Structure 1
Amino acid sequence: MSDVADGSGILFAEPGARWRAVSYGPGLCLIILFIEVVTASAVHWFALIFCAALIVGFVVLQVIAGRRHVSVELTDGLLREGTETLPLSAVAAVLPERDEDSWDEEDWESARALGELSGVPRRRSGIGLRLVDGSFVQAWAKDHRGLRAALTEALDRRRGTAGIDATEGIAESVDGADSVDGADGAEDPGGTDDRHSENGADR
């Protein structure tokens, strides 16, 4: 499930791994310890403590690796997949999902996956992106439909903002041209009157 922080500028986020997973091993060892104490059987203190410490160390490494290599974060301007960051200005389009009934492979399915891993991470699904240079890459996430929707919305918002800026620029150019024409028109009558009066005086 994705985590979205309201008001922080983050549109979509997946941590890759959660620190709460570190507590699972010690929790299991505590349950075993409780059962041994309640049943008055031999309590394996050393074995349980050793197993708990070993599991914690192993899971900590997994969490650190997961948060570094398979985390996802999307903001208004950037998409981060693992350790690779892609500016949204470089993305031309989010491609449709693969048709499950089709036998043909989509072009983006053989494209490079974002991040430093060799492909789309396990338990993640790829999302085809077409870049402005015409090449394809794959974004990915567990909640791939959520990331797809957030990416599409972010790109639409960027295009809308760019369109508004362009329209405002055209309007300002037109207004400037009108003001220059108006100024020229205001000078013409005066100049014409002066020429008529001079010609009249000459006659």
Structure 2
Amino acid sequence: MSDGDAVLFAEPGARWRAVAYGPLLCLLVLVLELVTSSPAHWFALIFCGALIAAFVALQVFAGRRHVSVELTESTLRQGAETLPLTGIASVLPERDEHSWNDEDWESARALGELSGVPRRRKGIGLRLRDGGLVQAWARDHRGLRTALTAVLDRAGVAAPESEGVAAQRSEDTVATEIEGVAVRESESSEERHSENGADR
């Protein structure tokens, strides 16, 4: 993140507090053994607590490196890959849940160094300035979509794809109105000719 850039959206990927869960569970078992006057398994519980903590620490480190998300005013970071917002042309609409057909962006490369969208995350289609498609992703995908669309609008870098669709619809509406006026004028002209013929 560059100096002065505020974080607009972030997901850590994993939290360090999870490392303490295993040792705390082992400590609870040890306390119960002492309270109930059962034989205390000091070595086994300490060993298990340390082993669980080490294993979870590796998972947290990997999660924070590979599935964390951070959006600032200038960049979108997905795992270890950072994409400048100036490279994004548009944010594509969500997939229609009632449609049987997949969207083109759903088969596009997912940002980051993983082979696809991470588990328990959902993709967001992005069209790049060079015409390519990629997938951003997040656990709170709607929150990321909202924040990303807002920052692109403020920076004037890109407009959501839906605005382009709305503009196209507006143009179609104008064209339809022009055609309607032409048809009405033609009908009015035919009526005048018919009335003139009837007067004679």
TM-score tier (shorter): 0.7 to 0.9
Percent of aligned pairs with the same residue?
73
- The gaps in structure 2 that reach 5 residues or longer are 159-200
Alignment partner of 1:38 is 2:41: no
Question: When the two structures are superposed, what TM-score results if normalisation uses the length of structure 2?
Answer: 0.75
Among 114, 119, 135, the alignment partner of 1:117 is 114
Secondary structure class of the residue paired with 2:137: strand
The equivalences for 1:94-173 within 5 A come to 94-159=91-156
Alignment partner of 1:86 is 2:83: yes
Deviation at 1:143, TM superposition (A): 0.6
Among 33, 41, 64, the alignment partner of 1:67 is 64
Report Cα offsets for 1:138-168 as digits up to 9, x if no partner. 000001000000000011011189xxxxxxx
Secondary structure class of the residue paired with 1:97: coil
Distance in 2 separating the partners of 1:8 and 1:130: 23
Distance in 2 separating the partners of 1:114 and 1:156: 21
Deviation at 1:34, TM superposition (A): 1.1
Deviation at 1:8, TM superposition (A): 6.0
Question: When the two structures are superposed, what TM-score results if normalisation uses the length of structure 1?
Answer: 0.74
RMSD of aligned alpha carbons: 1.4
Secondary structure class of the residue paired with 1:99: coil
Report Cα offsets for 1:158-196 as digits up to 9, x if no partner. 1189xxxxxxxxxxxxxxxxxxxxxxxxxxxxxxxxxxx
**Paired residues, what number?**
155
Secondary structure class of the residue paired with 1:64: helix
- The gaps in structure 1 that reach 5 residues or longer are 1-6, 162-203
Structure exhibiting the larger radius of gyration computed from Cα positions: 1
Among 47, 50, 54, the alignment partner of 2:51 is 54
